[in-house]
Structure 1
């Protein structure tokens, strides 16, 4: 990495927020940054009903590409450590995703921790995915196989957990999922983590080990529960029957190794998986400006994946 960029990242690390105390400030800052310049995106929206006991409605914002080249709907779960991020702060990234893939993108505004800890956000994502897969006409689709789950970071974790839940509960599963530098394991302590990337990239770059551990504590307060497969999908004992998966990792991301380990575990369970590592890239690639080379690299791989025919699936 360029020495000046490495220095800038280290200075940024010194100015980091304490996520356990400052998450509300971070949320406000994210929304402010996303609104500069003012967004001009076509974004009709709808609500879906989650599977929560209270029957709450989950806001979903739909982004239409300038040129629609595919019929697929990308059902997107945003990142932010289950604590930050929302429809507003991810509007630029979702508009870019729609334009560069030629697909409509449906961004899910799931509940955030610590106000709504695990499994609240997962229930919102699961309920939204389940109902759209059962009734694709709600999204203007005739074929549920046109629905592709997509998530980045904590959103990638949620996408994987949703796919696990759908299969376990006997519902229709999506034909495809795209997991972008996802959180797949519960331990990000450099002294105890089984992954070398946590030790190599957990201090100097965009996302640190401390931040991930803080997010995890806010999302799941009980340390024992963090080993649950729906929090740490790498702990799942049965990964059979999962969607065709594109798993993208970033070389300089502390989550790199655990993401790739999940890809191997899916493949060993008999699933179709493509894993791609973006060289010299940091965590958070899809939030980069459109002209950034790593972002373009990611969407080239995503385009190739979307052009492939998904494996035949059980319609149950």
Structure 2
């Protein structure tokens, strides 16, 4: 009887072995590989499930306005660009771990009225001076458009593309109420000048857009020339054309530079011609002095660059 029991005990493993054969070496390697993959995933899931909310709530991982570093703005930008963008787009408090954070920051800054282009947005781990770094270029004002709103005259700033810029940045500073920032820019005078949109959008009036291109070509050279305003040549007057709007620049004394039509700055030829016109005015100023105090009858015709000067009584060569 004992022998029979012993035989039965001995035979049981062989039955199990036949029913459940041990895995081969290849299968064992596969199982080990799968376990090696799943185990870290399971551990990471458990860890995130337990500590993830604490990390997201941690201030070190939350975006703050003072941790956003932007390209230093030029002197004419007095607005707190970073602060405005973070506040107006509800960026504060967003997690640095959000994979879409850089896209959200990019779109928010690109929409600001002072920003011309955003070239790069990068984010950095806690412990650095900045959590998010934004590299961008700013719009540059080239002129002030003379307007009259509700019977009150005023000036509105635009850039070379006639984008309306934030007017509040050109109000007298509280530190120096006598300093007028608008005096640092050419004026543009065209009939019925009223912007069609809000700050940060194109002005929407052909004559203003064309005058802005002339101002952009002059850049700061208008100061050396003693000029003050870009204006349309009235239709029917000397130097005007009824087909294409033509422009002239005036000094405060009334001296005039007859420019002609506005250049298309996308054309290399027209850009070179416009630059040559500015050079003609500068050459005259070097030889005869600034136009700021020139006699009001002084007129310089640069529609054909380097064509020289004339008085109001001398005939014009039309272009």
Normalized against structure 2, the TM-score is what?
0.20
Q: Which has the higher strand share?
A: 2
Structure of greater Rg: 2
